[in-house]
Structures are given as structure tokens and as C-alpha cells.
Amino acid sequence: MLAGKRILLIVGGGIAAYKCLELIRRLREREASVRVIMTEAAKNFVTPLSLASLSGDKVYDDMFDLTDETEIGHIQLSRDADILMVAPATADLMAKMAAGQCSDLATTCLLATDKPVMIAPAMNVRMWEHAATRRNLATLRADGVHVVGPNEGDMACGEYGPGRMAEPGEIADALSEVLGSPLAGLESPRLEGKTILITAGPTHEPIDPVRYIANRSSGKQGYAIGAEAAKLGARVIIVSGPTRLMPPPGAEVIPVETADEMLQAVKDELPVDVGVFAAAVSDWRTASQADQKMKKDGSGKVPSLELTENPDILATIASSKKDRPGLVIGFAAETENVIQNAQKKLEKKGCDWVVANDVSPDTGVMGGDENTVHLVTSNGVEDWPLMDKSDVAARLMERVCDELDEGVWT
Ligand code: CTP
């Protein structure tokens, strides 16, 4: 969805500026062209030379550069693009944008543009939570500025919380969403008239009112599949455990917390044509949940949690006599013997395909933007190369369309 799009990337002065190098690479991989403006402060974090080398264009930074002004002019610079992307959007840049200040080339272009603007905020958690930043954010949103992130996590300053700039892949996805309304971009609605149900994300299994058992799933792969299916014209329902993701355009998201709730929500949506079970469902929940917060009794004794098994959503639906979807696709999250374990799951769970992936910590798959998967079916195993999760989703949906064309399911 970014092919042929022109992105004016405004790099602000924050530690996250280094991620812009990766962002440019990602955008160009998706065949967008990138032109870069950097603020004076940004030069403390990343060099104009690296930005120029990656973008393949000169980097603009001086409002009063006569050559630039005669060649292109700052008004034209801001309007030549399809979208202006501010990354990292520091507290200072956000304040200037909200106030309509134009004290340098970056802020002048932001004020002069008639194109959509997106910001990827990045700052210390206290600055992000400060009333002034909240106010500026509300003003920018009201002005129609799109916002991606920030994410929660460890910060360069040693604190923890929201304030980390969104990852390059997330920013590229957000730009695709804004620039190409998926339905408008439909070239061939190969899944028109079909309903695809996807489970995504982790489940949270309560221990007491404030604690729960969870896992590291981000939901990105399931949401990416939802986005691709919607682009192909399908009706998309994502039954989602708790995530920080925006619903993909055109998809309906049904939020749930526990495995029990996820199973019930899935059953409520049947029948569907295709079921994709990408959720990292917790295998166990506590046998009982405390009504009140569990307290230390001062004796140093630690409580032990008795666990009980959760329902297997995929196996339940795949074996359902009445409402089994025409095509049932499971995932296999493995840390060893990936293919063999996936083949066992294909059989044991009764699904048609299994998308197997290695989720060992060193792969960065859980929570990351990329994945190396193997498509395991009764016909054999296809090894796919390392890809962005959105590309894995696109390829999987293409396979679904091919099956449909071949009349394997109707
Ligand atoms: N799954 C499910 N309900 C569960 C557990 C898993 O629907 N209670 C689905 C997942 O969404 C995935 C597939 O089953 O499509 C395999 O999940 P995975 O976590 O890889 O395996 P498990 O079934 O949990 O088995 P194990 O933990 O032994 O690997």
C-alpha cells in the first residue's frame, strides 16, 4: 500500500532518531520514496549523511538555504509529499506543532502543508504523562494529526512506561493504513462474500482482581492477517485478547480477556468460511480466582497456584460437526523441533493447515515485526523466508484465495 507514495520524514531530536534509519529502509522496501528534513536537535542523534545515504536524496535542514529555496521551496517541499511523518515527535516538536509555531524548516513545513500528518511520539514517560503534553496531543488529534505509538517499555533514561517510539514496522503499517484505505485500494476482491474469523493476541487468566497469567504475544501477526483479509474484501472478525494494537481498517474486533471468553466469542460468530487461530491462548488458568487481592500474611510463606487446563479453542472448532469453517488454519508456537511438533499439532487438533514458527527468545518473534514460518499441510511443508508479519499475512491470504479458486472449499 506504500508503493509509489512520497513520504516527507521529519526527524526530531530524540534518542529514538536512530530508529529512523531502519524506518527509511522499511519504507523503501515497500517502494515508497522518502525525503528527509531534520531538526537541528536531531543532528545530535543521527547524521545527515546516514539519512541521505538511506533515503537516496539530500537531507533538508536549513530554512534559509537559497539553493534549496530556488530549487524546491519550503512550501513545495511540504506539499510534494503524500504524507508528512514526524519521527521521533519529541515533546518540544509536539508543543510547537500544537501552537502553530514555525521557527525552523521542520515546523514551517508542518504548518504550510495541506497533506496528512502523522506523528510517532517518543519521550520520557513523565514528559509523555505531563498535562501539557496531554493537552498538546489532544490539540493535535483535534487538528486531524494521526498518531502512532508510543509503546510501553524500558526507556533510554532507565525508566519504564509509555514513551518509546513505535517500531519502524508499526510506523510503516500505520502509514499504509492512512494512505491506502484498504477497501478503496481493492484491485481484486478475491475474498468478497467470505467471512474470516481470526483469534489474536494473548489471553489473560486472572489470579485475583489485580494479577493475571499472560504471555508475550503482541497480536501483531493475527491483526496483520485481519488487515490483509479485509483488503481482499472479506468480512473480518478478530476475536482478540488484550493488545495495544489499533483495529485494522475494515475489521471488526471483539475484545476478550480469558480463553473461556475467547472460545465463547468464537462460537458466537460461527458459521464462518475461514478460521485462523493465531492467538497465543494460555494453556492453563488458576483453578479458582481469589475475590480479593491476595495478601502476604507476614510468615514468609508463598502461595502456590493450582492450575487447570483451558479449553483448546482451535481443536474444539476444528472438530465441531455443525459449524466447522471450510478452512481451519492453526498456528504452532515452538521453541524446538518446529516442523515435527507442527505436524503433530496438525493431526491432533484436526486443522487443515498449520503455520509453524519458532518463538525462541533469540528469534524476537514474540512482540517483534518479523517472522520465519513454515506452512505445514497434509501435502507437505513449505518453508517461507524471514518476512515482515504483514508479508506473512499477505502470502497466507494469497494461499487462501488460491484454495478458494481451486474449489477446495466453498
Ligand atoms: N490454541 C487454542 N486454544 C488453546 C491453545 C492453543 O486455540 N487453549 C491454538 C493456538 O491459537 C494455535 C494452536 O492452537 O493455533 C497451537 O497453539 P500452541 O500454543 O502452539 O500449542 P498448544 O496447543 O498450546 O500446545 P503446546 O503448548 O503443548 O505446544
Identify whether 311 is preceded by a cis peptide bond (ω within 30 of 0).
no
How many angstroms is it from 283 CA to the middle of ligand 1?
Answer: 7
Give how far the C-alpha of residue 328 lies from the chain's centroid of Cα atoms, to the nearest Å: 23
Which ligand 1 atom lies nearest to the CA of residue 349? 14
239-252 average pLDDT score: 87
Query: Is the Cβ–Cβ distance between 81 and 110 less than 8 Å?
Result: no
Question: How many other C-beta atoms are found inside a 10 Å radius of the C-beta of residue 3?
Answer: 9
Query: What is the C-alpha separation between 178 and 50, in angstroms, rounded?
Result: 27
Which ligand 1 atom lies nearest to the CA of residue 313? 7
- 234 CB within 6 A, ligand 1: no
Architecture of domain 6-179 in this structure? 3-Layer(aba) Sandwich (3.40)
The answer on pLDDT for 90 being more than 90 is yes
Name residue 194's amino acid.
K
Residues 109-141 have pLDDT tens digits of 999 998 999 999 999 999 999 999 999 998 998
Residues 263-287 have pLDDT tens digits of 999 999 999 999 999 999 999 999 9
Helix axes 220-231, 168-179, angle to 10 degrees: 20
Which ligand 1 atom lies nearest to the CA of residue 282? 8
How many angstroms is it from 237 CA to the middle of ligand 1?
Answer: 20
- 376 CB within 6 A, ligand 1: no
Which ligand 1 atom lies nearest to the CA of residue 333? 20
Task: Quickly state the pLDDT bin for 231 (edges 50, 70, 90).
Answer: confident
Q: Please give, one letter per residue, the 3-state secondary structure of the chain.
A: CCCCCEEEEEECCCHHHHHHHHHHHHHHHCCCEEEEEECCHHHHCCCHHHHHHHHCCCEECCCCCHHHHHHCCHHHHHHCCCEEEEEEECHHHHHHHHHCCCCCHHHHHHHHCCCCEEEEECCCHHHHHCHHHHHHHHHHHHCCCEECCCEEEECCCCCEEEEECCCHHHHHHHHHHHHCCCCCCCCCCCCCCCEEEEEECECCEEEECCEEECCCCCCHHHHHHHHHHHHCCCEEEEEECCCCCCCCCCEEEEECCCHHHHHHHHHHHCCCCEEEECCECCCEEECCCCCCCCCCCCCCCCCCCCEEECCCHHHHHHCCCCCCCCEEEEEEEECCCHHHHHHHHHHHHCCCEEEEEECCHHHCCCCCCEECEEEEECCEEEECCCEEHHHHHHHHHHHHHHHHHCCCCC
Residues 349-377 have pLDDT tens digits of 999 999 999 988 888 888 788 889 999 99
Asked if 6-179 and 195-405 have one fold, the answer is: yes
The closest alpha carbon to 371, from 262, 231, 155, 224, belongs to 224
- 24 CB within 6 A, ligand 1: no
The answer on pLDDT for 187 being more than 70 is no
For the chain, which residues make up each domain, given as ranges? Answer: 6-179, 195-405
Query: Is the Cβ–Cβ distance between 124 and 162 less than 8 Å?
Result: no
The answer on pLDDT for 143 being more than 90 is no
Q: Which CATH class is domain 195-405?
A: alpha beta
- 279 CB within 6 A, ligand 1: yes
> Considering 20, 157, 351, 401, which one is annotated as catalytic?
157
- 167 CB within 6 A, ligand 1: no
Identify whether 150 is preceded by a cis peptide bond (ω within 30 of 0).
yes
**401 catalytic per annotation:** no
Q: What is the pLDDT of residue 72?
A: 63
Query: What is the C-alpha separation between 359 and 357, in angstroms, rounded?
Result: 6
Query: Is the Cβ–Cβ distance between 90 and 130 less than 8 Å?
Result: no
Give how far the C-alpha of residue 204 lies from the chain's centroid of Cα atoms, to the nearest Å: 19
The answer on pLDDT for 326 being more than 80 is yes
How many angstroms is it from 328 CA to the middle of ligand 1?
Answer: 14
Query: What is the C-alpha separation between 339 and 176, in angstroms, rounded?
Result: 33
Name residue 98's amino acid.
A
How many angstroms is it from 312 CA to the middle of ligand 1?
Answer: 7
Residue closest by Cα to atom 14 of ligand 1? 314
The closest alpha carbon to 242, from 229, 228, 256, 260, belongs to 256
- 371 CB within 6 A, ligand 1: no
Query: What is the C-alpha separation between 175 and 7, in angstroms, rounded?
Result: 9
pTM of the model: 0.62
The answer on pLDDT for 216 being more than 70 is yes
How many angstroms is it from 282 CA to the middle of ligand 1?
Answer: 8
- 238 CB within 6 A, ligand 1: no
Query: What is the C-alpha separation between 376 and 341, in angstroms, rounded?
Result: 10
Label the pairing between strands 387-388 and 33-38.
unpaired
The answer on pLDDT for 153 being more than 90 is no
- 219 CB within 6 A, ligand 1: no
How many angstroms is it from 51 CA to the middle of ligand 1?
Answer: 43
144-162 average pLDDT score: 83
